[in-house]
């Protein structure tokens, strides 16, 4: 690769407006050949819009893109690929019913015979030490494998700039490690990488330079290796990262929400069953449930929220009342609200307006219906309140849930449940894919809700989050729950051991639990 050019790409004053919002406002930055350059910013800061313009999916209203020191017009993705720009999308642009090979062929310009393309794919897989079977149907592949298709597709074009839009938000830690190795190999060949992520510690590990966007404007540049995740987060939100204010001495009431011998059989060959889950949450308390993904968290949420009622009515008690046999609506009417992990399609209907989404769960509690007739005014007013109180970035209560960015939709869903002032709130991954500023706001809202006497259960894989907000916590492993730990007394190492170190060995888990309690 010739590295005679000074900069692989330079943006000068790029501006892009959408109806009602200025997505990019005179954005300028430069990327050197072979540099791994991070693009940082909160949800809605304009990062995705910016890279879409570099890849030719959108055109800027004003400004210049300079490629290898020469001004260019990127008319469409085909032109971008011809220049040497590859892109791996946040939401993969894959065709589920087709094979890996067909998917890659669709991303190539010009025709190849199947055999020669397969040959080239195998060469790239070998060069970068990636595993992928060209003849598999995409719908049978894991998320990590799907991303590899996108990466191979980009690598086959021998890109000189690779854009990665939130590549790690769906990967396991092992897959992230493999991805970073691939990217480092690639950058050594002179290919620049533009890397978008929320995960600031990853950016510190990987990137050599960073441009920080806020509200569509460039607000700073830094070398991530010399920053801390906290300092970068503060540059992104443009202020101090709010510490959660939590009263030191908390008064807890009586046991409000109790799981007592909750057991759920496994489904088919997959899905971890829940085995004799027992825990108590007092009024005013936040109870954290940690664990590595896939150890029964999903089943636990379904069982606690009422989506999957249990035959043993006494397995779950709300203020002493047996509720385990009730469905989700029955429990909701008693004041038990829930937020599932998956926002799109589970927590919210993407093709519905925010108001309609509010009606779906807040109808009874907030008096949005009387004798079967909806009260539109009440629903809209409540929706507007959620939007205001939780600083949801949207054009109004009438906008579609699917038009919100992931973090904003999460804020809306959390706000929708929290403002109903529930007696019990069950949440799974409350800040998944949410930027630091919004996450802090959601954490504070949960703490405030608890201080008003609600019992809250937080299921999360983010240990830092649980340690920051919960009063007591337990670890779920293969559908079994460890004994309850007081957060102030347990160290992160000990909990980490419970989650991973003794994973799969119930006896060891029990011993570890005892050990933690001795402290």
Partner 1 sequence: MTYSLLIPILMTIVGAATPILLAALGELVVEKSGVLNLGVEGMMLIGAVTGFAVTATTGSAPLGVIAAMIASAASAGLFGFLTLTLTANQVATGLALTIFGIGLSALAGEGYVGQTVDVFGSVFPASLSEHPTLRVIFGYSPLVYLSLALVAAVGWFLSRTRAGLILRAVGESDLSAHSIGYSVIGVRYMAVLFGGAMAGIAGCFYSLVLTPMWAEQLTAGRGWIALALVVFAGWRPVRLLLGAYLFGAVMTLELHAKAAGFSLVAPEFLAAMPYLATIAVLAAISARKTGMSLAPACLGKPFKPSS
Rule CB under 8 A: which residues touch partner 1? Answer: 56-57, 76-78, 81, 89, 91-98, 102, 105-107, 111, 403
Nearer Cβ to partner 1 (47/363): 47
Q: Give me the least distance between CB of 217 and partner 1, in Å please.
A: 23
Angle at 288 between CA 455 and CA 389, to 5 degrees: 60
Phi, psi of 210 (to 5 degrees): -145, 140
Distances (CA, A) of 136 to 97, 99, 104, 149, 171: 10, 5, 12, 11, 20
Q: Give me the least distance between CB of 52 and partner 1, in Å please.
A: 9
Nearer Cβ to partner 1 (86/397): 86
Q: What is the DSSP string of 449-464?
A: HHHTT-EEEEE-S-HH
Of 182, 210, 208, nearest to 35 (Cα)? 208
Q: Give me the least distance between CB of 353 and partner 1, in Å please.
A: 16
Secondary structure of 121-155 as H, E, C letters:
HHHHHHHCCCCCCCCCEHHHCCHHHHHHHHHHHHH
Nearer Cβ to partner 1 (94/469): 94
Q: Give me the least distance between CB of 55 and partner 1, in Å please.
A: 8
Q: Are 354 and 401 in contact (CB under 8 A)?
A: yes
Nearer Cβ to partner 1 (90/295): 90
Give all strands of the β-sheet with 36-40 in edge-to-edge order: 85-88, 161-165, 192-196, 36-40, 209-214, 217-222
Angle at 132 between CA 129 and CA 135, to 5 degrees: 145
21 has which bridge partners?
Answer: 18
Nearer Cβ to partner 1 (58/468): 58
Token pair 């011993």: residue:
511
Q: Give me the least distance between CB of 50 and partner 1, in Å please.
A: 15
CA pair distance 192, 350, nearest whole angstrom: 35
List of long-range contacts for 481-486, beta carbons under 8 Å, 24+ apart: 481/277, 481/278, 481/279, 481/289, 482/509, 482/510, 482/512, 482/513, 483/513, 483/514, 483/516, 483/517, 484/279, 484/280, 484/287, 485/513, 485/516, 485/517
Q: Give me the least distance between CB of 92 and partner 1, in Å please.
A: 8
Q: Give me the least distance between CB of 359 and partner 1, in Å please.
A: 24
Nearer Cβ to partner 1 (106/143): 106
Q: Which two tokens stand for residue 61?
A: 């209203």
Nearer Cβ to partner 1 (124/206): 124
Strands 192-196 and 161-165: parallel
Q: Give me the least distance between CB of 231 and partner 1, in Å please.
A: 34
Q: Give me the least distance between CB of 145 and partner 1, in Å please.
A: 16
Nearer Cβ to partner 1 (77/190): 77
Strands 455-459 and 161-165: unpaired
CA pair distance 28, 12, nearest whole angstrom: 5
Nearer Cβ to partner 1 (65/512): 65
Q: Give me the least distance between CB of 107 and partner 1, in Å please.
A: 5
Nearer Cβ to partner 1 (107/216): 107
**What three-state secondary structure class fits 428?**
strand
Nearer Cβ to partner 1 (95/391): 95
Q: Give me the least distance between CB of 56 and partner 1, in Å please.
A: 7
H-helix or E-strand containing 31?
A: strand 21-31
CA pair distance 455, 117, nearest whole angstrom: 57
């Amino acid at each position: 690769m010739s590295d005679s050019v000074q900069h692989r790409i330079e943006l000068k004053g790029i501006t892009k407006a959408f109806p009602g919002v200025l997505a990019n406002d005179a954005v300028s930055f430069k990327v050197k050949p072979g540099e791994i350059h991070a693009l940082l910013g909160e949800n809605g800061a304009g990062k995705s819009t910016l890279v879409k313009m570099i890849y030719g999916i959108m055109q800027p209203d004003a400004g210049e893109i300079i490629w290898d020191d020469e001004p260019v017009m990127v008319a469409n993705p085909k032109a971008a690929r011809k220049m040497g720009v590859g892109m791996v999308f946040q939401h993969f642009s894959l065709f589920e019913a087709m094979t890996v090979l067909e998917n890659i062929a669709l991303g190539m310009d010009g025709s190849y015979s199947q055999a020669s393309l397969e040959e080239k794919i195998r060469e790239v897989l070998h060069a970068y030490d990636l595993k992928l079977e060209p003849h598999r149907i995409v719908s049978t592949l894991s998320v990590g494998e799907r991303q590899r298709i996108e990466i191979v597709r980009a690598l086959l074009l021998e890109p000189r700039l690779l854009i990665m839009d939130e590549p790690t938000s769906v990967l396991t830690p092992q897959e992230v490690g493999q991805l970073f190795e691939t990217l480092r190999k690639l950058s050594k060949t002179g290919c620049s990488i533009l890397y978008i992520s929320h995960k600031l510690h990853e950016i510190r590990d990987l990137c050599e330079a960073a441009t920080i966007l806020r509200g569509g404007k460039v607000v700073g540049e830094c070398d991530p290796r010399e920053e801390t995740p906290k300092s970068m987060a503060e540059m992104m939100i443009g202020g101090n990262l709010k510490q959660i204010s939590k009263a030191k001495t908390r008064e807890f009431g009586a046991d409000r929400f109790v799981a007592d011998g909750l057991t759920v059989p496994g489904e088919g060959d997959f899905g971890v069953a829940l085995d004799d889950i027992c825990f108590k949450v007092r009024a005013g308390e936040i109870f954290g449930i940690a664990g590595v993904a896939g150890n029964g968290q999903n089943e636990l949420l379904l069982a606690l929220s009422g989506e999957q009622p249990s035959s043993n009515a006494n397995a779950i008690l709300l203020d002493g009342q047996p509720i385990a046999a009730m469905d989700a609506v029955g429990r909701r009417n008693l004041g038990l609200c829930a937020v599932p992990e998956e926002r799109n399609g589970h927590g919210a209907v993407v093709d519905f307006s925010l108001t309609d989404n509010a009606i779906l769960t807040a109808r009874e509690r907030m008096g949005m219906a009387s004798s079967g007739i909806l009260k539109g005014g009440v629903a809209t007013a409540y929706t507007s309140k959620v939007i205001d109180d939780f600083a949801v970035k949207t054009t109004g209560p009438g906008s579609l849930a699917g038009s919100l960015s992931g973090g904003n939709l999460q804020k809306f869903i959390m706000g929708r449940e929290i403002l109903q002032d529930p007696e019990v709130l069950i949440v799974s991954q409350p800040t998944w894919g949410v930027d630091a500023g919004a996450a802090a706001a959601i954490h504070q809202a949960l703490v405030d809700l608890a201080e008003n006497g609600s019992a809250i259960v937080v299921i999360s894989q983010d240990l830092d989050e649980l340690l920051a907000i919960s009063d007591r916590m337990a670890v779920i492993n293969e559908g079994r729950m460890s004994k309850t730990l007081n957060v102030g007394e347990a160290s992160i190492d000990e909990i980490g051991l419970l989650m991973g170190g003794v994973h799969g060995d119930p006896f060891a888990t029990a011993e570890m639990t005892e050990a933690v309690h001795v402290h």
